[in-house]
Amino acid sequence: MYKDKDLIIRPVEEQDLLRLWELIYKEEAPEWKKWDAPYFPHKSMPYEQFIETAMNWVDVDSFWVITINDVVCGIVSYYFEDEQKKWLEVGIVLHEAHNWSRGIGTRALELWITHIFNSLSLVRVGLTTWSGNERMIRVGEKLGMKMEARIRKVRYYNGKYYDSIRMGILREEWESLEPSMSI
């Protein structure tokens, strides 16, 4: 668990599963999906179907919840791009619009990156988004991430092409940042 005032990131607990279903799978077209890779399909599902696999999320180090005042409001995650487990990408979703543009994502991702560098022997943490999600790009910039790649016009959404954006930060860059963002 990592804490910053009222914000906590921590492993998923069994009692979080109903709330996660409500945030992620209850609606067919949730507002958050317009920003989180909207070019990939999203399907709602009944709670009974969700719970069959959701137990795989409990106490997993690569998938944690974000809470504000003890209410689950989103998730942070990571996955490896390669089998050597040297190329790690992070993800974050704040599922409710009233939590957007308030600095919550920046604070949560700062804690998450700190956790990753504290617990894994990696030299780099990456973040991939799309050019239509300017808020996510700004979060990466605020955290000291560098633009590493822009793959032009590979994401198609609502009749328009967007770029895929790859950002990253090296361990030594993270460690050189102000004390609140270092390990």
Q: Which domains does the chain have, with CATH numbers?
A: 2-177 (3.40.630.30)
Q: Classify 134 as helix, strand or coil.
A: helix
Output the six-digit token pair for 136.
Answer: 């996510």
pLDDT band at 180 (very low <50, low <70, confident <90, very high): low
- The angle subtended at Cα 22 by Cα 16 and Cα 24, nearest 5°, is 95
Q: Pick the residue with more confidence: 183 or 39?
A: 39
Give yes or no for residue 39 having a pLDDT over 70: yes
Helix 104-119 and helix 134-142, axial crossing angle in degrees, nearest 10: 50
Long-range contacts of 149-158 (CB under 8 A, 24+ apart): 155/39, 155/130, 155/131, 156/39, 157/38, 157/39, 157/130, 157/132, 158/38
What does the pLDDT read at residue 146? 98
pLDDT above 90 (res 29): no
| 63-68 sheet: strands from edge to edge | 2-4, 7-11, 63-68, 71-80, 88-94, 124-130, 160-170, 146-157
